[in-house]
Structure 1
């Protein structure tokens, strides 16, 4: 019997992830908070089913996937008055691809468990490029058996899938990932500025440096976007700021992380510029003008 999937949240990430699931042959029903989103037409064009309420989307789903922006959004979609917790069938497996931090993931898991629903926290990395190409990195926390059960679906959306441990462990690894992403962006922006100062074509610097020890996802995927002043979002400034807020909450009494603090300040500086919050993280370069 074919298992049914509901996917909640048709944003920059959720839409291509749903399309990749459909391309792999899985039946997918989607819901999005904004019914006017142009992304919904992409789903319809691929013969996906679009529903106008969470209840209609999840009522007979075996798997419920969610990818939305922030902690309040996840809580509203899963636990709110019209949330999935009230209409999902017992033992459905809910998998959250959002970045919400470990404490929130554990809290949600407990509330869902009380309603006989299973939960995996599965934050993702790879940006819109990884989502479109089905090459995301997926970091999963929760029951190992649930992880193994969900593997065929993860493999339709990602290339690097890791079981990280008990509930919240995926989020814990994602916090480390976001610190790396933030600090890498500082390094990339400063390397481009240094190349310009020395009269070196930044594109040449990018071509050379991405092949050596300084190579990174950021330089390979975002370097040329910066040199072209292409600040269209794959992952928005407002979203990295949210993630860095979660890192800060995670740190609590942990000793200071100077690189993290510098990157956070640079993103905050960028956020003060016109339209920057809706631009991609590579827009940090604007703060170096």
Structure 2
């Protein structure tokens, strides 16, 4: 049986590790913060929880990481007492975080120099997609490594696409984030417009979701925006980070993308609210940028 190490049991990673284990695959998991409630659920699903990276990866054939940002991925994969320290030669490393195309290429090269293989495989679908194993997974790296990992991806996702060489999965993920963020801003503006016109904003969701203006953001987050339910499926701070990565990927000489620039500002405004705690709310809380 293939031995899999899963590093990062957050909102997304915990459910992803559980879904792999449900497919009768051997999963050993580690999380930087011990004692998360998801660990109990994961253990019941057959995931073995360990206390150190060394314990997780020493016997692993495949190592999966799902954490927050570039520095977290680099620390876990290449830092002191990291995956690179303990993984056996030829181990396939799959990072399912969102870290941007440049960082993915750099990490791939550094791991390759240490005799390790690497796929960048960011996901879309939020906590619901992670729980239901319906994630969209975008993969960059060697095609043969992708085919080896495909059964594991299929345990976590519904739409799995090989996008090309290292960094390609991250590039498509950033395109996805631009579409999500800009569309979410348009949902907020349509709701605000409806309120200004004196009509029930829930009609925006009910009616517009069925036509050409329909979207996942409108159907799934529209009523939450109207009800003021900002519990996170995907947090403002994470989207703000992803848009920062997209801006870094664009470079200084790129063509202007005004909708992207404006939407980035909206996320940063809400992120700074509540003495810097606004970023903990769900992405749909950007409606607050229009109201406060």
Give the TM-score, by structure 1 length. Answer: 0.97
DSSP-derived class of the 1:211 partner: coil
**Alpha carbons 2:100, 2:171 under 8 Å: kept:** yes
Q: Deviations over 1:184-207 (max 9, x none)?
A: 111011111112222222222102
DSSP-derived class of the 1:95 partner: strand
Query: Match of 1:241?
Result: 240
Shift of 1:156: 0.8
Q: Deviations over 1:34-65 (max 9, x none)?
A: 01222211212223100100110011011100
Query: Match of 2:266?
Result: 266
DSSP-derived class of the 2:19 partner: helix
DSSP-derived class of the 2:93 partner: strand
Q: How does 1:227-238 map to 2 (within 5 A)?
A: 227-238=226-237
How far apart are the structure 2 equivalents of 1:45 and 1:103? 38
Query: Match of 2:154?
Result: 155
Shift of 1:246: 0.6
How far apart are the structure 2 equivalents of 1:271 and 1:94? 32
How far apart are the structure 2 equivalents of 1:47 and 1:123? 24
DSSP-derived class of the 1:283 partner: helix
Shift of 1:272: 2.2
Asked if residue 17 in structure 1 is aligned to residue 19 in structure 2, the reply is no
Query: Match of 1:278?
Result: 280
Q: How does 1:1-289 map to 2 (within 5 A)?
A: 2-252=1-251, 253-274=253-274, 275-289=277-291
Higher mean C-alpha displacement, 269-278 vs 49-58: 269-278
How far apart are the structure 2 equivalents of 1:35 and 1:58? 17
How far apart are the structure 2 equivalents of 1:199 and 1:133? 38
DSSP-derived class of the 2:289 partner: helix
How far apart are the structure 1 equivalents of 2:283 and 2:98? 16
Shift of 1:9: 0.3
**Alpha carbons 2:127, 2:233 under 8 Å: kept:** yes
Shift of 1:182: 1.1
DSSP-derived class of the 1:254 partner: coil
Shift of 1:178: 1.0
Structure 2 unaligned runs (5+)? none
How far apart are the structure 2 equivalents of 1:68 and 1:264? 22
DSSP-derived class of the 2:273 partner: coil
Higher mean C-alpha displacement, 167-176 vs 196-205: 196-205
**Alpha carbons 2:27, 2:46 under 8 Å: kept:** no
Structure 1 unaligned runs (5+)? none
Give the TM-score, by structure 2 length. Answer: 0.96
Shift of 1:173: 0.7
Q: Deviations over 1:5-40 (max 9, x none)?
A: 110000011001111111122121100000122221
Runs of 4+ in 1 over 6 A off after TM superposition: none
How far apart are the structure 2 equivalents of 1:22 and 1:111? 29
How far apart are the structure 1 equivalents of 2:200 and 2:133? 32
